[in-house]
Structure 1
């Protein structure tokens, strides 16, 4: 079996245990949504199929997902904007697996930047894999302009969480300096230019998956 790329996909968005051998000792944890490179063939031990993701680092393949086709992948960085909003470097990957552009996303309010399962917490939602409710569809309407910058693409978690009504939009408040800076838990581009890039990508490439990871 050839090496392949997959993403951590746990049912409750928990971190995935990494062991030093199939069913061996625990050595670390990797967060939901993390990208890994699987090497070699799986080894059945206990009730799981174990795969190696680098030398002497094994995980159960049942908690990995191969994500094919166009996708949006947002990775946390140490950069912040607007006085405390964490920046997520977001690559736009086309149907052929090529990165065609990069934008920034922000999520949550200042001072509430730790992803959480708690509804109405004003934090980013949990790390993991989400699906676009309607690939290729971007709702545009004057009723969205005040808070959502005129565009909205809903996404849904593929894992158990209390978070709902999540989407990707433009946040005109990011550099406004007002009390409303940030989002209530959606993902937002911070500039009009990035909004247009994201909107065009969603409409033309019709990505099915949004992957949110810790980096």
Structure 2
């Protein structure tokens, strides 16, 4: 475990206190400096690349949760699958990660309609023109499992049910209005 943390820290830069995720220990600020916001948003979510992949070769993204300008949580997530990362992110049906940009966030979750959504789904709405619809945030029940279902069809998939419950509680309590996707 220490070797993996040390490697991540050397490659990505150790910039803040450590957090422990499902599969590895990383810094809460391990993304390259280029992804650092000039000023943290007051009450928002920010999706950034981590520079690492899970055991199923899917890129890991960090979903950062800010409240009153302070980073409260950093969640390990996936978006798309390793073989969909370079597909057109604005075209429906590609199952690529959601496009970069600003999204509105629903103030409450809805029941998931597919097993791979993990029961609940938090819709997000692009504030820009795109061919993508039905995007959101959910728990990925196949995260890092060798069942061929790890990853998402483009949504943000959290790595654990507990992390998704924490995120939903934050959303229902603080009602953030903005998701910034900055992964490409």
TM-score bucket of the superposed structures, by smaller chain: 0.7 to 0.9
**Structure 1 residue 80 and structure 2 residue 49: aligned?**
no
Structure with greater proportional strand content: 1
CA distance in 2, matches of 1:87, 1:128: 18
Within the candidate set 89, 96, 121, 1:123 is matched to: 96
CA distance in 2, matches of 1:156, 1:35: 23
Q: 1:204 to 1:68 in 2, by over 3 A?
A: same
Higher gyration radius (CA): 1
> How far off is 1:100 after superposition?
1.1
Tell me the residue number matched to 1:163: 132
Tell me the residue number matched to 2:26: none
The C-alpha deviation readout for 1:13-45, integer Å capped at 9, x for no partner, is xxxxxxxxxxxxxxxxxxxxx66549xxxxxxx
Within the candidate set 94, 106, 109, 1:138 is matched to: 109
Within the candidate set 131, 147, 150, 2:116 is matched to: 147
Tell me the residue number matched to 1:89: 62
Displaced runs of 4 or more, over 2 A: 34-38
> How far off is 1:175 after superposition?
2.4
CA distance in 1, matches of 2:139, 2:168: 9
TM-score by length of 2: 0.72
Tell me the residue number matched to 1:191: 160
- Between the two proteins, the alignment pairs up a number of residues equal to 149
Unaligned runs of 5+ in 1: 1-33, 39-66
Structure with greater proportional helix content: 2
Unaligned runs of 5+ in 2: 1-34
The C-alpha deviation readout for 1:158-206, integer Å capped at 9, x for no partner, is 1111111100000101122112221111111011222122122111111
TM-score by length of 1: 0.63
The answer to whether the 8 A contact 2:56-2:150 is kept is no
The answer to whether the 8 A contact 1:130-1:155 is kept is yes
CA distance in 2, matches of 1:203, 1:192: 16
> How far off is 1:109 after superposition?
1.8
